[in-house]
Amino acid sequence: MDVYALIGNPVEHSLSPPMHEAAYDALDIDARYVTFEPPEDGGAAAIESAATLGVAGLNVTIPFKQQVIEAVDPAPLAARIGAVNTVDFSTSPPTGYNTDATGVVRSFAHHGVSLSGTAVVVGAGGAGRATAFALADEGLTVHVVNRTESKARDLATAVADTGGDAEGHGLDALPDLLPGADLLVNATSVGMEEDASPVPADALHADLAVLDAVYSPIETRLLQDAAAVGATTIDGAWMLLFQGVEAFERWTGEDAPVDEMNDALRKRL
């Protein structure tokens, strides 16, 4: 039996176990998915321990996504983002990937959204970094918008330094940027368990595709505002799903049973 795992702190409320267990059941794979909660400075040590114990694959969440880079060989995209959330132990040293980035891309693709034109990414933290690099790699012009403008500019510079087309702005730029945008991603926690949006509703329009990384609640104020003007809306559970789908496929070499994984995830939301 293969064992896959997640490390995080805290980790007890993770939705990854039921999602991955559903995939094993659907494909009749003899495997289990478990969680571990190392101390907050124990990310790199946890990678070494997992390798010693024969763990087949590992997901990584807060606060370890940056720590574990020193214990793996990061894939090029993960290295540029500066964070790893998926580890493959079939290589030596183990390879680290950032499937948050591919989760964004696959979420848009699943909903038939063309990955072209201009994207506005709200937030310059971990999710914002993964999103900005991922969309720039797809050829979009990326505008990073953040409450602290200097952080948005730093992220945009990092994207541009590796060949992407990106600019950084403060939140006050949103009304000017959104009318010409094709994609919008909220990569902040604004809207989580609160009826609030980081984006002015009157700046939204019907030609936008809007992805909100928040999945609690599943229908955020931003998505409600976007739906009201006829925009395409994608809730945060899709991003969570597809980062897990990507991890599963890298670990097993099998096409993930997306519908079964999605059903298991949404039953827990």
Residues 58, 250: Cα–Cα separation, whole Å: 11
pLDDT digits (tens, 9 = 90+) for 246-265: 999 999 999 999 999 999 99
The CA-based dihedral angle spanning residues 243, 249, 251, 253, taken in that order and rounded to the nearest 10 degrees: -170
User: Residue 3 above 90 pLDDT?
Assistant: yes
CATH architecture of the domain with residue range 2-97+238-267: 3-Layer(aba) Sandwich (3.40)
In the chain, residues under CATH classification 3.40.50.720 are: 101-234
What CATH number should be reported for the domain whose range is 101-234? Answer: 3.40.50.720
pLDDT digits (tens, 9 = 90+) for 119-153: 999 999 999 999 999 999 999 999 999 999 999 99
Structural tokens at position 174: 């949103």
Active-site residue list: 65
Q: Are 234 and 211 in contact (CB under 8 A)?
A: yes
State the SS3 of the chain: CEEEEEECCCCCCCCHHHHHHHHHHHHCCCEEEEEECCCCCCHHHHHHHHHHHCCCEEEECCCCCCHHHHHCEECHHHHHHCCCCEEECCCCCCEEECHHHHHHHHHHHHCCCCCCCEEEEECCCHHHHHHHHHHHHCCCEEEEEECCHHHHHHHHHHHHHCCCEEEEEEHHHHHHHHHHCCEEEECCCCCCCCCCCCCCHHHCCCCCEEEECCCCCCCCHHHHHHHHCCCEEECHHHHHHHHHHHHHHHHHCCCCCHHHHHHHHHHCC
The residue-averaged pLDDT of 16-36 equals: 98
Q: What is the pLDDT of residue 223?
A: 98
Q: What is the pLDDT of residue 193?
A: 82
Q: Are 241 and 261 in contact (CB under 8 A)?
A: yes
pLDDT digits (tens, 9 = 90+) for 191-221: 998 899 999 999 999 999 999 999 999 999 9
In the chain, residues under CATH classification 3.40.50.10860 are: 2-97+238-267
Structural tokens at position 234: 């994608």
pLDDT digits (tens, 9 = 90+) for 33-92: 999 999 999 999 999 999 999 999 999 999 999 999 999 999 999 999 999 999 999 999
Has this prediction a pTM greater than 0.75?
yes
Q: Given phi > 0 = left and psi -120 to 50 = alpha, else beta, which region is 25?
A: alpha
Q: What is the pLDDT of residue 10?
A: 95
User: Residue 162 above 90 pLDDT?
Assistant: yes
The residue-averaged pLDDT of 3-18 equals: 96
Give the closest residue to 155 by CA, choosing from 182, 189, 125: 125
